[in-house]
A and B are shown apart, each in its own frame.
Chain A
Amino acid sequence: MSVDLLNFIETVLNGLMSGVMYSLVALGFVLIFKASGVFNFAQGVFALFAALTLVGYQTGQVPFAHLINELFGTNYHNWYASMPNFLAIILTMITMIALAWIIERLVLKHLVNQDPIILFMATIGLAFVLEGVGDLMWGSDVKVLDVGIPSGGSTWLEEATIGLAAEGSDYYGMYIDVLNVWATVIAVILVITLALFSQYTKTGRALRAVADDHQAALSVGISLRTIWILVWAISGFIAMVAGIMWGTESGVQFSLSLIALKALPVLILGGFTSIPGAIIGGLLIGVGEKLAEIYIGGYFETGALENWFAYVMALVFLLFRPQGLFGDKIIERV
């Protein structure tokens, strides 16, 4: 095989892996949008908040320590030296469920029957509030997140592919980050679990009923508020998974919240209401941007296509298929 072809395959594979990372964020958006029609702009901050909380629990950091010390002249920083990963993840999940409950009580409950744009604006506000609270609770330092997921280039793949190149060619194997492979495995498990949950459990069916028609669901006795709390809690959990993956890759820091911006083109491609759409959209965006950066990036003086090419793809899609690949087609009868 020629080295160019192998490099092309490597780029596509890495694009797919990056796409999975985007899909993890996009999944949370889709779930909330399906169930409540709310485009949750705060999903990226959810991921950040979950990752901050997880590291906080892992390292025994006292929440709001800076504020407490400032107000009372104390010097508290840590409760304990460390906490096992499993326990820290469980506690973070509980925190995200509590957060979902608080959001429902303080924000959503008061905005029932409001226009979608009002709810969208509320989530923008929520994003800023949550970012501020996260800062106050856990501080702005870069935090190292390690839950035991391996990372770094896969030596196995390198060695397995080195012989694929034509003899005498200057090739030293294919590259894939093991962390991305793990992200893919976790995303697959997540999607299967979500599909089984919504298909075969009573709560899951209630969730789908709410997603299809709020009024009809209410008329058969489904509690809208309970479903909303549930959905926000599930997307809080997905945000935690995304936060763990992204936080392991780059450290936990406030720019993590900006990953939400990468989920937007994914949603435009995949559709706002489809879980498989979020996955396929993520994969397409991942592959598209990597190919663009590597194969046509050199023709642009300013370069850095990797960051904005996803939006070019999204715009093209909007022109030809505004509902996305798997989204519900909007038909309005006049």
Chain B
Amino acid sequence: MRIKQLLIGITASVIAISSYVEIAVADLKFPMLVYRTGAYAPNGIPNADGFVDYYKMINARDGGIGGEKILHPECETGYKTQVGVECYEKNKKDAMVFQPMSTGITYQLIPKATADGVTVYSTGYGRTSAANGKVFKWIFNAPVTYWDGASIAVRHILKQNLGNIRGKKIALVYHNSAYGKEPIRTLQTLSKKHGFKLMLLPVDHPGQEQKATWLKIRKARPDNVLMWGWGVMNQVAVKSAASIKFPMDKFIGIWWSGSENDVLPAGQGAHGYKSLTFNAPGDSYQVHKDIKKYVHDKGEASGDGSHFGTVLYNRGLFQAMVQVEAAVVAQKIHGTSKITPAMYRDGMEAVNLSAARMEELGFKDFAPPFKNTCENHGGSGLAAVQQWDAKAKKWNMITEYMYGDSDVVQKLIAEDSSKYAAEQKIAERCN
């Protein structure tokens, strides 16, 4: 009995000491809110794998950031807002940045992180008006926001219709959540501006059953359908659109509705489906070569390595790269490798990912350049349209990166953020 107790004691001590040593050595903590289980796991896993592989590569190739290893503890949220908030509370101590990977969680973390002095980076999702750095000091959503996305999609439709969409009908099929509702305001404004009729079609979580939604579309015959979906909702929507023979080149998803997962179950029916994107597909970039060399070839790949080069994996790489770059910039600004969360925020605000810098980081032509400023936390606002080739089973970029309608978007951002500032009694900065 005593020997057993002794062994348990020794084991517990070893675990305690080893975890202490790990924290002491790994100075830069980048907690990850992931969903590797549950209904949204097929999207959560490749994205999380992209993050982990990039962090591992930086640790292996460069010895960390300025010599400080990256620690990336994972916390499983299951895409549930409440669990995401608990994960934040559990991991916020000494955390450099949180990437909530959910608009619902982001909304909850905005006031908390602002009070705690922790950076939140919601890459191309979350609260759009957080792009206004004057109000949202700790929140970043570069390189592009949902409102940019909505106006870029409309711009693409405008181009296809020689600049005139008056009288046309555009339907928005959206996840009935904070995320899915984000573009509505912008689309309503754009519908007044361009004279198109907007049809709103919410789909409840998880979106497994959408027959009535697509019967409505079949009956109303909109000229274009936009989609703000996630998880199974995307697959069912693409398949349903193909089933009712809706022209797939008139069906455009936001960048979270444009992964391989979303189109493969529909087979050939998905051919021609479009989505917006702010990063390129493929696995031939320098960053992929480095990850292969320093991570995968050493048997250290996150998961089984099968998501390498997929859309959501690549997005994870991009997100992780921006987060690491913010730490690099923070170290330069403050002249120390041992940065604090406050210093990290300064770094994020000064991130300048020019084309040359992207090339240096192994991301040449991977995404459009962008920089954050005190006023602008929303990046360049650029996105392109990609189209699914069902025969070759790959996404092809079919447009250049383009801007949205900045007149409309900036006005809406100013309105929404001023309202938030008044509610929260936040004094505007950057003056």
Chain A interface (Cβ within 8 Å of chain B)?
7, 10-11, 14, 18, 65-66, 69, 73, 77, 132, 135, 139-142, 144, 146, 151-153, 175, 177, 246, 249-251, 253-256, 258-259, 262, 289-290, 293-294, 297, 302-308
Contacts and interface: CB of A to CB of B under 8 A. Distances in A.
B212 A290 contact: yes
A258 B206 contact: yes
Contacts of A65: 304
Interface in B208-227: 208-213, 215-216, 218-219
B39 A258 contact: yes
Nearest to B201: A303
A294 B216 contact: yes
A141 B212 contact: no
Interface residues of B, number: 45
A152 B242 CA distance: 7
Nearest to A252: B265
Contacts of A77: 304, 306
Contacts of A256: 208
B137 interface: no
Given A14-B215, A73-B299, A249-B239, A307 B37 contact: no
B172 to A, nearest CB: 11
Nearest to B260: A142
B36 interface: yes
B159 to A, nearest CB: 28
Given A66-B303, A140-B41, A153-B243, A297 B212 contact: yes
B204 A255 contact: no
Contacts of A10: 215
B235 A304 contact: no
Given A255-B208, A293-B216, A304-B203, 10 more contacts: A11-B215, A14-B211, A142-B264, A144-B265, A175-B215, A249-B236, A250-B239, A259-B208, A303-B200, A306-B203
Given A77-B304, A304-B202, A254 B264 contact: no
Given A153-B245, A307-B204, A253 B39 contact: yes
Contact of B261 (A141, A297, A302): A141
Minimum-distance CB pairs A-B, first 5:
A251-B265, A293-B212, A255-B39, A307-B204, A140-B41
Which of B206, B218, B299: most chain A CB closer than 10 A?
B206
Contacts of B267: 144, 146
Nearest to B219: A7
Contact of B212 (A153, A258, A306): A306
Contacts of B40: 255
B243 A306 contact: no
A315 to B, nearest CB: 17
Contact of A303 (B37, B42, B176, B232): B176
B64 interface: no
B78 to A, nearest CB: 10
A75 to B, nearest CB: 8
Contacts of B204: 304, 306-308
Nearest to A152: B243
Contacts of B36: 140
B209 A307 contact: yes
Interface in B33-77: 36-42, 45
7 contacts: A18-B209, A73-B299, A132-B37, A139-B304, A254-B39, A303-B202, A306-B204
Interface in B226-269: 231-232, 235-236, 239, 242-245, 261, 264-265, 267, 269
A310 to B, nearest CB: 10
A18 B211 contact: yes
A175 B218 contact: yes
Nearest to B42: A142
Contact of A253 (B42, B201, B303): B42
Contacts of B303: 66
Which of B37, B42, B205, B216: most chain A CB closer than 10 A?
B42
A305 B231 CA distance: 20
Contacts of A305: 212
A306 B231 contact: no
B181 to A, nearest CB: 9
Contacts of A139: 304
B202 A250 contact: no
A177 B239 CA distance: 11
B269 A152 contact: yes
A306 B211 contact: yes
A250 B219 contact: no
Contacts of A303: 176, 200-202
Contacts of B265: 142, 144, 250-251
A142 B261 contact: yes
Contacts of A132: 37
Nearest to B259: A142
A69 B243 contact: no
Contacts of A151: 239, 243
A70 B207 CA distance: 33
A168 to B, nearest CB: 17
A318 B216 CA distance: 30
A306 B207 CA distance: 10
B222 to A, nearest CB: 14
A251 B264 contact: yes
Contacts of B38: 254
Contacts of A306: 203-204, 209-213
A117 B148 CA distance: 52
Contacts of A289: 212
A255 B231 contact: yes
A66 B208 CA distance: 27
B32 to A, nearest CB: 16
A175 B209 contact: no
Contacts of A307: 203-205, 209
A141 B42 contact: yes
Contact of B244 (A7, A135, A142, A175): A175
A278 B327 CA distance: 59
B41 A302 contact: no
A151 B270 CA distance: 13
A303 B219 CA distance: 17
Contact of B37 (A140, A153, A294): A140
Contacts of A153: 243-245
